Amino acid sequence: MILGYLLIFCRVAMGLLFFFAFLGKAPNLPPFERTLIRLVLLPERFRRMAAFLFLIGELAVILLLAFEGQLLGLGFALATLLFLLSSMALGSALARRMALPYKGWDTIQKSLSPYDLWRNAGFIGCALAGWAAFILAGQSQMNLSLAEGMLVGLCAAVFVAAWTQLGEIARLFRLA
């Protein structure tokens, strides 16, 4: 029973997160391309393709999490891969002490900080927990009542809203 709730929580959390990340990038991809250029991880000629592939990956995660069966497990695996790639890029920029303004998951311009890596680590943990719950729960369907589904969905939405703002929350407590 707990695995079913965890699976639904992680599925909703990852779905919401990637949905809003996709919506933030899709209408205007050039700022994301410029961020990739500033990271100096790829030759400039690959920036557009890399940005487009990342965007397609985000859309794929959303679609894969919408389906039952093996596609659901693949959605969690792809989400983990995208977070790992993002974390490697962020870690590289932080190690090089790059003052890199970028648009985060919430599309607000901000400066890079170590909290961005902690944020990604939390989301990697959520994706891995969803994948593990998927594997351990097997193909069994979990039928939630409307109230249960709304409560799990609300908890997932609160988690995503709070965790995407991890740096701001940490900054708030440093000022207190």
Asked if 157 and 16 touch (Cβ cutoff 8 Å), the reply is yes
pLDDT at site 40: 73
Q: Going by C-beta distance under 8 Å and a sequence separation of 6 or more, which residues neighbour residue 41?
A: 89, 92
Per-residue pLDDT of the chain (176 residues; tens, 9 = 90+): 788 899 999 999 999 999 999 998 888 888 888 777 777 777 878 888 888 999 999 999 999 999 888 899 999 999 999 999 999 988 888 888 876 665 554 455 567 888 889 999 999 999 999 999 999 987 555 677 889 889 999 999 999 999 999 888 888 888 65
**Phi/psi of residue 13, each to 5°?**
-60, -50
Chain-centre distance for alpha carbon 12? 12
pLDDT at site 101: 61
SS3 102: strand
Rounded distance between C-alpha atoms, residue 71 and residue 76, angstroms: 9
Rounded distance between C-alpha atoms, residue 53 and residue 96, angstroms: 25
- pTM of the shown model: 0.87
pLDDT at site 90: 87
pLDDT at site 108: 54
Which ranges constitute the DSSP H helices of the chain?
Answer: 2-25, 30-39, 47-65, 70-95, 114-137, 146-163, 166-175
**Phi/psi of residue 109, each to 5°?**
-65, 130
pLDDT tens for residues 58-80? 999 999 999 888 899 999 999 99
pLDDT at site 82: 96
